[in-house]
Structure 1
Amino acid sequence: MRRRGRAERGSVTAELAVGMPVVVLLLVAVLTLAAASTAQMRAADAARAGARQVAVGEDPAVVRSVATRVAGQGADVTVTQDGEWVRVVVTRPVVGGWFAPGPLRATGEAVAWVEP
């Protein structure tokens, strides 16, 4: 019995060393997916808020201010008007801080009819 215990000594450490990176990678993937879905919802909400503001006749500066406030820091707001229709596109980073300039960006778009 004593020999068998010594032969298996350290096996838990080896299994943990192999399994821990997988667990960490899975956790990072889940957290990134949650951040991406939140950023996507905020971008879509900001685009809708901006389109509503344009539809009731607000200034483009007010529209950008409202959309940026809803979307959060680092959001890019584009407003284009084609006749009676206006299109607001909001793009924002998925994560903030040092990683904000990264490639992950969420985009929301809304189209509204401009009231006369």
Structure 2
Amino acid sequence: MTAESALVLPVLVVFSLALVWGLLVVAAQIQCMDAARTGARAAARQDPEASVIAAARDAAPKGATVTVTRAGGLVRVVVVAKPRALTGLPFEVREEAVAASEESVGTAGDRVGTVGDSVGTAGDSVGPAEDRVGAVGERAGAVS
């Protein structure tokens, strides 16, 4: 082994470890972002705060803290986590999502009835399309 190799190998090992460490931090950041978005969507639907926090914690890295605040027509979910790769360092990953609160209108039964009516209307429009397909098939048969 030459002197150059003895110097380059430790540098390559440190560089490789830094790349792996960076990837783990980015993965934790993405998990926090997904958790904050999940929590914000649940909070915007007017879910109870306990279920919002539970939904965000399910998507967040282990040991993450989730904070939900409501101000005016907005909900804000903040997820803070300490990546596992940074055990001894004072480093945290933080992500925040904001969403507009949705208004609940009517009851669930009313909304389901309306959706069913819309589906029925869409089903009625399928009939004439089938007639047109049949007519095209007849024309194709006449050509051959």
TMscore range, shorter length = 0.7 to 0.9
Q: Secondary structure at the match of 1:108?
A: strand
Residue 8 (structure 2) aligned to one of 19, 26, 34: 19
Task: Determine which structure has the larger helix proportion and give its number.
Answer: 2
The separation in 2 between residues aligned to 1:53 and 1:59, in whole angstroms, is 8
Structure 1 position 64, deviation (Å):
0.9
Residue 65 (structure 2) aligned to one of 65, 76, 82: 76
Which residue does 1:95 correspond to in 2? 84
Bigger RCO (CA 8 Å, 6+ sep)? 1
Which residue does 1:33 correspond to in 2? 22
Where do 5+ consecutive residues of structure 2 fail to align? Answer: 104-144
Which residue does 2:99 correspond to in 1? 112
- Mapping of 1:48-63 within 5 angstroms? 48-63=37-52
Runs of 4+ in 1 over 4 A off after TM superposition: none
Q: How big is the alpha-carbon RMSD for the aligned residues of Structure 1 and Structure 2?
A: 1.6
Task: Determine which structure has the larger strand proportion and give its number.
Answer: 1
TM-score normalised over the length of structure 1: 0.80
Identity %: 39
Name which one, 1 or 2, has greater alpha-carbon Rg: 2
- Count, aligned residues: 103
